[in-house]
Amino acid sequence: MLPWKTIIQMQKDCDTPVYLQIANSVIHEMRKGRVGPGLKLPGTRQMAEILEVHRKTIVRAYEELDAQGWIEMHPSKGTFTSKELPEINGRHFTKNHNQNAFPKTTGYHVKVNTGIRTPVLPLRHIMGFHDGPDMRLIPSDELGRAYKSVLSRNTYLKFMSYVETPGVQKFRATLSEYLNASRGLQTTFENIIVTRGSQMALYLLSIVLFAKGDTIIVGDTNYYYADHVFLLAGMKLARIKVDEYGIDVDAIEKLCRKKKIKALYITSHHHYPTTVTLSAARRIKLLSLAEKYGFIIIEDDYDYDFHYLSSPMLPLVSADTKGMVVYIGTLSKTIAPAIRTGYIIAPENLILELMRVRQLIDTQGDPIMELALIEMFEEGHIKRHMKKALLAYHKRRDFLCGLLNEKLGDIIDFKTPDGGLAIWAKFHKSIPLPPLTEKLKAKGLILSNGLIHNTSSVSMNATRMGFGWMNEEEAAQAVDLLAQTIRSK
Amino acid sequence: MLPWKTIIQMQKDCDTPVYLQIANSVIHEMRKGRVGPGLKLPGTRQMAEILEVHRKTIVRAYEELDAQGWIEMHPSKGTFTSKELPEINGRHFTKNHNQNAFPKTTGYHVKVNTGIRTPVLPLRHIMGFHDGPDMRLIPSDELGRAYKSVLSRNTYLKFMSYVETPGVQKFRATLSEYLNASRGLQTTFENIIVTRGSQMALYLLSIVLFAKGDTIIVGDTNYYYADHVFLLAGMKLARIKVDEYGIDVDAIEKLCRKKKIKALYITSHHHYPTTVTLSAARRIKLLSLAEKYGFIIIEDDYDYDFHYLSSPMLPLVSADTKGMVVYIGTLSKTIAPAIRTGYIIAPENLILELMRVRQLIDTQGDPIMELALIEMFEEGHIKRHMKKALLAYHKRRDFLCGLLNEKLGDIIDFKTPDGGLAIWAKFHKSIPLPPLTEKLKAKGLILSNGLIHNTSSVSMNATRMGFGWMNEEEAAQAVDLLAQTIRSK
């Protein structure tokens, strides 16, 4: 007889009833081929004795196995494992068997995609020049109340089920109103598809608009995760220099004369990563080039809401009468990265095609979050937050820039950015960033080594230093540590 | 002089300050090319008179325009629009100008993807045989409290920023524990990547594992949105018959002998849409075929948690020692479709590649929802809910099946399903579903016409009738209306 006492695994303090644990153990062994087909099982009384459980438990276990077709119970002959289960070679029972651990690797080849960087663990619990909004400023209590309120309304129950593919209509209407007022647009909710942050917006566009081999113009240097979305779609990147007025529009014109350009990707408001704003003259020329040469402008306006000098320039899309611009925005910077609510603004025919593909990638959005955000807009929490945050970040920018000039002016070359939450900091070549940032990390201070911003043609000793994340006290401490580490070299 | 009074649009009761409205109007016109470069603007006093606003307002507007580079102010000569703005042909000022409406269509060609159905508006506010859980049963108050609690904890603030690409680690650990206990697995959090529902799980796998031209086996018929994910990835579908024991495994073996199969997609627990469970014998054979022929099994176990007859069979992945199975699950059915939290269970090398691509599609998940779900698991709300829901759906299944047998046994052919939330209902050919469902819709009752389940080889007059959505009273009313509509034909 098989060593049933060893084979059958039971645990007390387990949520699964004992009879089910027994049945599952038997099934497990049959699956592994270690208990073969047509095998006679001990009677219920005998098995109960072996396993030291009540006989009724064994009766229920056998009934369960019978119901699932694993065993056959013959009143006269006894209980047998089902004959229809094919014997599996090489899976014989061994004495020192254990529940198998989960497979360490796949049984088939998985291509390692070295083209895309390995995701890194965010270390936001450690002090640092993190690029992004300060979580201590976000209206989290208001958000908590909004969520609770949404989930306690019976009239909202239908939103807990399947909802509209492009986002809850009322949320799109709210967004449309906000965008029209703040960005000089004339959209309706039908020009909007809500996405998971601006990243999904970019990805969706890459699938719907582009084909393998298409050429897209991007800045040199450009946002890493945008470049790689286009590369994943099989596109060719045409890199164009970015200077202090933004991307070089004359160079774009020259390129367009030479070859067919399918699209251009631009963070016009604050070029990522260098923070420069595309000048008014270049904006107008860019639009007319798009019309003339028929290329699509993907305008990623990820941080429109953070501008300190004067009110931000209106986005390109606001002057687009021919439907050449697709506009991407997000609330992930405005509120918090965890609020992964982005959107695409486009003519309706494109929105429809984006909806089709969105069904396959991500059935629908998050109606609970969308309804909570409607409340946040309607109650004025978002506007109040933006005002408060803008003031705080303005002060933090000035404070950090002042400190850096004072203490590290000879090492770090930068311009005070007009907006956004980070400084584009070019470090003196005598202080290479990778070893410096390693040293800082060991001391508990995070600074990106900036390698992600290099391209095949541009290699810089530069990085983005976030000024939004730390208050003045923290920034002073961080700059001290940075200066100390650099000077002690 | 230009008709400034007409050109400059101002609105009272608008959040934008008046000076900004004026500046934005001027920019708008310059962008459209209707106010050309080098044009002299009226002095501040004169403009104030024209627009009937305070002179200081004009001063601020001009300062704004100057700061943004749109105009040049010469103390002696006056104020001029910037000369550097290129004149744009064909955009001359016209008298009857209006703010332009948003473009109706794109200025470039967008391919219409007729292969994927147009998203339909969900009509869950209308009574119907909807396929999915009843929103009235979900623990929404508990969920609301969990969200609020998460958002009010200062220690959780760091989760509002960027988090781990595959999902918050503690949530993956919670899921792992739950899956190990309920599905006989031996996973750790490192075998899990959290996705937006099972749909994104499928999509991610299609991008990472497959290449254009690969063949994947699917059921005939199969889940529409899975088929189309594979088609979008350029794969070929090899359809295999599904009978009352699930997919025909002998036919799979025959096919494998003839051609290279890359993968197989299966909803083993309750085949979608026909609800049959893959038999134990076929499961074992399928696993050994995957090992022998090296094809990947994608096991989509979307409704494992709903089973009425006995406990559900353990999934294929629980017996997979060679790493051939990738397992997909979701909480969207278990709790509510709005909780778009799915997951992929796989060996770590595949999880890493999935993470890489996930960064490009959707930076990260929703840490707020994940933290709220940890609370729901820890407080026992999810277990309690599942128990309560299972009981309710069991009763509703029996009630609806009884009614259908009694009142429409001659029209509708079905088997009481062992699990899930829907009946696979084959309607008599004398009652074609499309016109019937149209009539029902007009009477305020939703029934899917089932066309989505047809394939090029299988055309059925069958549909899924959800029994979970309606309580007994509603179901009785719905069946009455259905019978009446059919009989009055």
The string of pLDDT tens digits covering residues B408-461 is 999 999 999 999 999 999 999 999 999 999 999 999 999 999 999 999 888 899
Contacts of A363 in chain B (CB under 8 A): 196-197, 199, 225, 337, 340
pLDDT at A253 over 50: yes
Residue B125, in any domain of the structure: no
Contact A107 B324 (CB under 8 A): yes
Distance CA A373, CA A143 (A): 8
Query: Cα separations (Å) of A83 from A40, A72, A86?
Result: 11, 8, 8
pLDDT at B383 over 80: yes
pLDDT at A428 over 90: yes
Average pLDDT, chain B: 91
| Per-residue pLDDT, A207 | 96
What integer is the mean pLDDT of B178-199? 94
| Per-residue pLDDT, B32 | 77
The model's pLDDT over A65-109, given as tens digits with 9 standing for 90+, comes to: 887 778 888 888 899 988 876 544 333 322 233 356 899 999 999
Residue with the two structure tokens 């469902």: B437
Quick one: B153 and B250 in the same domain?
A: yes
The model's pLDDT over A197-241, given as tens digits with 9 standing for 90+, comes to: 999 999 999 999 999 999 999 999 999 999 999 999 999 999 999
Quick one: A158 and A55 in the same domain?
A: no
Residue B94, in any domain of the structure: no
* Residue B84 contacts A, CB cutoff 8 Å: yes
Strands A422-427 and A342-345: unpaired
Residue B126, in any domain of the structure: no
| Per-residue pLDDT, A362 | 96
Q: Among A12, A47, A81, which residue terminates a domain?
A: A81
Contact A147 B151 (CB under 8 A): yes
CATH of the domain at B29: 1.10.10.10
Q: What percent of chain B has pLDDT over 70?
A: 96
Q: What residue in B sits closest to A166 (Cα-Cα)?
A: B119
Contacts of A353 in chain B (CB under 8 A): 110-113
Distance CA B331, CA B334 (A): 5
CATH of the domain at B472: 3.90.1150.10
* Residue A27 contacts B, CB cutoff 8 Å: yes
What integer is the mean pLDDT of B327-333? 94
Give which of B108, B216, B305 to mutate to test A binding, by max A Cβ within 10 Å: B108
* Residue A292 contacts B, CB cutoff 8 Å: no
Contacts of B280 in chain A (CB under 8 A): 27, 30, 68-70, 82, 84-85
Among A74-88, B26-40, B317-331, name the most confident range: B317-331
* Residue A271 contacts B, CB cutoff 8 Å: no
| Per-residue pLDDT, A89 | 38
Domains identified in chain A, total number: 3
Q: Which residue from A320, A345, A373, A312 is spatially nearest to A142, judged by alpha carbons? A: A373
| Per-residue pLDDT, B20 | 84
Contacts of B165 in chain A (CB under 8 A): 119
Quick one: A59 and A150 in the same domain?
A: no
| Per-residue pLDDT, B85 | 67
Q: Which of residues 98-117 of B touch A (CB under 8 A)?
A: 99-108, 110-113, 116-117
Burial (CB < 10 A; 0-12, 13-18, 19+), residue B109, is: exposed
Q: What residue in A sits closest to B326 (Cα-Cα)?
A: A106
Contact A158 B124 (CB under 8 A): yes
Distance CA A52, CA A61 (A): 14
Contact B122 A67 (CB under 8 A): no
pLDDT at A37 over 90: no
Contacts of A384 in chain B (CB under 8 A): none
CB A303 within 8 A of CB A275: no
B242 or B15, higher pLDDT: B242
Contact A309 B111 (CB under 8 A): no
Task: List A427's β-bridge partners, or say none.
Answer: A412
What integer is the mean pLDDT of A134-160? 93
Contact A225 B359 (CB under 8 A): yes
| Per-residue pLDDT, B95 | 28
B18 or B133, higher pLDDT: B133
CB A368 within 8 A of CB B148: no
pLDDT at A474 over 50: yes
The model's pLDDT over B249-281, given as tens digits with 9 standing for 90+, comes to: 999 999 999 999 999 999 999 999 999 999 888
* Residue A152 contacts B, CB cutoff 8 Å: yes
State the angle between helix axes of B249-258 and B280-293 in degrees (0 to 180), rounded to the nearest 10.
10
Residue A313, in any domain of the structure: yes
CB B68 within 8 A of CB A310: yes
Quick one: A329 and A436 in the same domain?
A: no
Contacts of A102 in chain B (CB under 8 A): 185-188, 191, 347
* Residue B67 contacts A, CB cutoff 8 Å: yes
What integer is the mean pLDDT of A440-464? 95
Going by the DSSP 8-state scheme, the letter that residue A335 receives in this structure is T
* Residue B232 contacts A, CB cutoff 8 Å: yes
| Per-residue pLDDT, A15 | 67
Q: Which of residues 307-326 of A touch B (CB under 8 A)?
A: 309-311, 313-314, 318-324
Residue B103, in any domain of the structure: no
Quick one: A209 and A342 in the same domain?
A: yes
| Per-residue pLDDT, A83 | 81
* Residue A356 contacts B, CB cutoff 8 Å: yes
Q: Which helix (H) or strand (E) element contains residue B391?
A: helix B381-408
Contact B88 A288 (CB under 8 A): yes
Question: In the structure, what pLDDT confidence band is assigned to residue B86 with cuts at 50, 70 and 90?
Answer: low
Contacts of B147 in chain A (CB under 8 A): 144, 147-148, 151, 368
Quick one: A363 and A406 in the same domain?
A: no
Displacement of CA B371 from its chain's centroid (Å) = 21
pLDDT at B91 over 50: no
Quick one: B56 and B149 in the same domain?
A: no
Question: In the structure, what pLDDT confidence band is assigned to residue A366 with cuts at 50, 70 and 90?
Answer: very high
Residue B52, in any domain of the structure: yes
CB A110 within 8 A of CB B324: no
pLDDT at B93 over 50: no
Quick one: B314 and B405 in the same domain?
A: no
Contact A366 B364 (CB under 8 A): no
Query: What are the residues whose beta carbons fall under 8 Å from the beta carbon of A395, sequence distance 6 or more?
Result: A472
Contact B203 A360 (CB under 8 A): yes
Structural domain span for residue A14: 4-81
Among the partner-chain residues A232, A309, A347, the one whose CB lies closest to the CB of B67 is A309
| Per-residue pLDDT, A120 | 87
Contact A151 B144 (CB under 8 A): yes
| Per-residue pLDDT, A99 | 54
Residue A118, in any domain of the structure: no
Quick one: A365 and A478 in the same domain?
A: no
| Per-residue pLDDT, B94 | 30
| Per-residue pLDDT, B89 | 38
What integer is the mean pLDDT of B47-55? 92
| Per-residue pLDDT, A445 | 97
| Per-residue pLDDT, B100 | 67
Task: List A264's β-bridge partners, or say none.
Answer: A217, A297
Q: What percent of chain A has pLDDT over 70?
A: 96
Residue A63, in any domain of the structure: yes
Quick one: B354 and B399 in the same domain?
A: no
Average pLDDT, chain A: 91
Residue contacts between A and B (CB atoms, under 8 Å): 405
Q: Among A58, A81, A104, which residue terminates a domain?
A: A81
pLDDT at A416 over 50: yes
Q: Among A337, A366, A383, which residue terminates a domain?
A: A383
pLDDT at A136 over 60: yes
CB A258 within 8 A of CB A215: no
Among the partner-chain residues B63, B140, B288, the one whose CB lies closest to the CB of A88 is B288
Long-range contacts of A52-57 (CB under 8 A, 24+ apart): A53/A10, A53/A18, A53/A22, A57/A18, A57/A19, A57/A22
A135 or B35, higher pLDDT: A135
Q: What percent of chain A has pLDDT over 90?
A: 73
Q: Which residue from A2, A86, A92, A98 is spatially nearest to A37, judged by alpha carbons? A: A86
Contact B324 A108 (CB under 8 A): yes
Contacts of B309 in chain A (CB under 8 A): 67
Quick one: B323 and B406 in the same domain?
A: no
Count the alpha carbons within 13 Å of A439 in the hemisphere toward its beta carbon: 15
Q: How far is A29 from chain B, CA to nearest CA, in Å? A: 9
Going by the DSSP 8-state scheme, the letter that residue A160 receives in this structure is G
Q: Which residue from A147, A168, A163 is spatially nearest to B132, judged by alpha carbons? A: A163
A15 or A148, higher pLDDT: A148
**Strand order through the sheet with B342-345:** B192-195, B342-345, B325-330, B296-300, B263-266, B215-220, B236-243, B246-247
Quick one: A243 and A313 in the same domain?
A: yes
* Residue A363 contacts B, CB cutoff 8 Å: yes
* Residue A163 contacts B, CB cutoff 8 Å: yes
